[in-house]
């Protein structure tokens, strides 16, 4: 029904209130009038990516698994430890040294043999520590459901404590604290 016409001398009745612009904006952003938009990186200037195939998803799942991460850290630790062992043997003046005859010069074969033994020893140790740390960090991350600096500190403490515990409780506590501090420093530097 239309409002009754007002007399010529009377003021006009007030107009119905208009919705605020903020309310209209909210209806378009949150309400039923909201239009879902498909995210297209090409529109924003990005590189368009096709959807991932099932094989790509499977490879991603394998590469994100704890056993794969542990194996990768083990292989990387072995290579890095071997290189570090050979390097330290190369600069050590006692490589090939015979304590029974201190004035004898070691042969190249003896020096290379000692360098190889030290390289293998370091490689095994680095591989074990790398696999332990990586596996522990992956398990802690899976348990906590978060990926932050606390994971590396917790796994560093567990790994250092397990390695040091072979020499006793005090060494285990020191190993836990030292490895956790080292892990925190590395994580802080890399992030």
Give the closest residue to 13 by CA, choosing from 3, 22, 28.
3
The pLDDT value recorded for residue 31 is 63
Determine the 3-state secondary structure of 19 from DSSP: coil
**pLDDT, mean of each 10-residue run, the chain (191 residues):** 59 67 71 67 66 89 90 95 91 78 81 90 95 93 88 93 92 93 90 76
**Burial (CB count within 10 angstroms: exposed 0-12, middle 13-18, buried 19+), residue 150:** middle
- Answering whether pTM is above 0.85, one says no
């Amino acid at each position: 029904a239309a409002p009754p016409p007002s007399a010529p001398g009377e003021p006009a009745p007030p107009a119905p209130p208009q919705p605020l612009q903020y309310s209209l904006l909210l209806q378009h952003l949150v309400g039923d009038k909201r239009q879902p938009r498909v995210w297209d990186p090409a529109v924003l200037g990005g590189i368009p990516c096709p959807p991932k195939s099932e094989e790509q998803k499977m490879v991603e799942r394998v590469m994100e698994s704890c056993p794969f991460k542990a194996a990768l850290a083990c292989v990387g630790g072995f290579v890095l430890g071997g290189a570090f062992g050979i390097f330290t043997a190369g600069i050590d003046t006692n490589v090939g040294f015979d304590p029974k005859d201190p004035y004898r010069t070691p042969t190249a074969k003896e020096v290379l043999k000692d360098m190889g033994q030290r390289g293998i020893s370091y490689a095994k140790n680095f591989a074990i520590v790398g696999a332990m740390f990586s596996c522990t960090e992956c398990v802690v991350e899976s348990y906590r459901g978060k990926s932050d600096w606390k994971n590396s500190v917790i796994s560093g403490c567990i790994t250092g404590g397990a390695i040091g515990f072979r020499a006793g409780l005090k060494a285990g506590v020191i190993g836990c604290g030292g490895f956790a501090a080292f892990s925190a420093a590395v994580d802080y530097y890399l992030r």
